Amino acid sequence: MKSPIYITGLGVISSIGDNVDQTLDNLRKSRTGVDEIKILHTQLKGTLPLAEIKYTNQELAQISGLETWQTRTAQLSMIAAQEAKDSCKIDYSEWRCGFISANTVGGMDRTEDFFKEFIVDNSKGDLHDVVNHDSGDATEIVADKLGMTDYVTTISTACSSSANAIMFGARLIHNDIVDIVIAGGTDSLSRFTLNGFKSLMILDDKPCMPFDENRKGLNLGEGAGYVVLVSERVMKAEGLTPLAMLSGYANANDAYHQTASSPEGNGNYQAMKGALDMTGLEPSAINYINVHGTGTPNNDVSEGMAIMRLFGEKPPVFSSTKAYTGHTLAASGGIEAVLSILAIQHGLIFPNLRFTTQMKEHTFSPQVSLIEGSKVDHVLSNSFGFGGNCSSLIFSKA
């Protein structure tokens, strides 16, 4: 194992808070962000809930400092990445700095507005709404504003995207390409995504119930989450206090089906096992698993089976925080990385909201109430996506 990668800063925005402090407060108070639709312009308003950030794009632009016509994806990314950057007392100009982001939707929230007029008459539609469409665009806008451009890239592997961005960031440091990376992901809600998941019939029309026998599907959410990753050299030279270490990671493919997980969760198992093997820890050393736990029938069975295979019938305490934030897709790995590190920092284990009935396939059930003052030294965070993309990260007390 090479020298460790330290995490020295966090930034997050989601339906449960505009920043790290608000998020922590809402987690402690078991306040969910899942609510009826208020912001997204959609015909589906009133038929199902979402975990929206309750600001219009104009209001977000006030916070982010970007232009109001820039995409919601970029606005969310800017707010969380800036918080992460500012939370560290680092002289960034002294180091090679990278920005590695992730998203699935790119500028779709604006493109779909453009499209309404465009499909009727292709000489119509405001081009401002479509120029920021591609996924790399939000990343470059934010990298420019952060001034972190020695390595810039974007990953899109569906719902595991930002876990892979964090992994790639750590590997860029290991391979001496940069010294500091802000890594994570962002996604905003759009009619495109909402109707896509609706067409797959995996949305719950009530607040979701991850890992519950009676779960019906997921709730979509939006947000962004980033961590500041630094090498040991940066940490020492800048005299920083690390919040945690990234001690293990792995990316595997289920190679089973384009949208479904294998029933035994092969890819999930390989990702968790690969991350654990990298740390050199025994499975029993993991104190908390922040599961992917979307609340779909398929994901939660497969993930649970893989957990049982790796950890036995009595796995570590676990919960899905998607009952708070909804499934924020490409942002989820970044947001849940932030929550995992908050668990280590504050000795907290967050409850799996709304759980009532254990799944018949599993021998265990998630944590249902907040645990405070707990010894949380090692947290496993799972992110699994379409295309069989499975990634796991392990964060450890530094």
Partner 1 sequence: MKPLYINGLSCISPQPTFGAEFPFEAKRYDSNRLSCIEPDYAPYIDPKASRRMGRLLKYGTTVGLQALRDAGVGSPDAISTGTGFGLLDDSGKFLKNVTEAEEGVVSPTAFIQSTHNTVSSNIALTVGCKGHNNTFVNKGFSFESALLDAQMLAEENAAMKNILVGAYDETTDYSYTIMKRLRLIREQEIANLDLLQTPGSGTIAGEGAAFFLLSTEKVDTYAILHGSEILYKPTSTDKVKFKLEAFLSRNKLVLSDIDIVISGLCGDAKRDEMLGNLNDNYFTAQTILGYKHLCGEYMTSSAFALWLGSMIAKTGSIPAETIIRDSHRLTSNILIYNVYKNDHAFVLLSK
Secondary structure of the chain in HEC code, one letter for each residue: CCCCEEEEEEEEEECCECCHHHHHHHHHCCCCCCEECCCCCCCCCCCCEEECCCCCHHHHHHHHCCCCCCCHHHHHHHHHHHHHHHCCCCCHHHCCEEEEEECCCCCHHHHHHHHHHHCCCCCCCCHHHCCCCCHHHHHHHHHHHHCCCCEEEEECECECHHHHHHHHHHHHHHCCCCCEEEEEEEECCCHHHHHHHHHCCCECCCCCCCCCCCCCCECEECEEEEEEEECHHHHHHHCCCCCEEEEEEEEEECCCCCCCCCCCCHHHHHHHHHHHHHHCCCHHHCCEEECCCCCCHHHHHHHHHHHHHHHCCCCCEEECCHHHHCECHHHHHHHHHHHHHHHHHHCCECCCCCCCCCCCCCCCCCCCCCECCCCCCEEEEEEECHHHEEEEEEEECC
Catalytic residue from among 159, 208, 378, 390: 159
Catalytic residue from among 88, 97, 208, 327: 327
- Residue 155 CB, shortest distance to partner 1, in Å, is 6
- Residue 37 CB, shortest distance to partner 1, in Å, is 12
- Residues of this chain that interact with partner 1 (CB under 8 A) are 42-44, 104, 106, 108, 111-112, 115-116, 118-119, 122-123, 127, 130-131, 133-137, 139-140, 143-144, 149-158, 164, 168, 171-172, 174-175, 177, 191-192, 195-196, 199-200, 251-259, 266-267, 270, 385-389
Q: Considering beta carbons, is residue 28 or 133 the nearer one to partner 1? A: 133
Q: Considering beta carbons, is residue 316 or 334 the nearer one to partner 1? A: 334
Q: Considering beta carbons, is residue 75 or 111 the nearer one to partner 1? A: 111
362 is catalytic: no
- Residue 343 CB, shortest distance to partner 1, in Å, is 27
292 is catalytic: yes
159 is catalytic: yes
- Residue 153 CB, shortest distance to partner 1, in Å, is 4
- Residue 307 CB, shortest distance to partner 1, in Å, is 18
Q: Considering beta carbons, is residue 132 or 290 the nearer one to partner 1? A: 132
Q: Considering beta carbons, is residue 137 or 336 the nearer one to partner 1? A: 137
- Residues labelled catalytic: 159, 292, 327
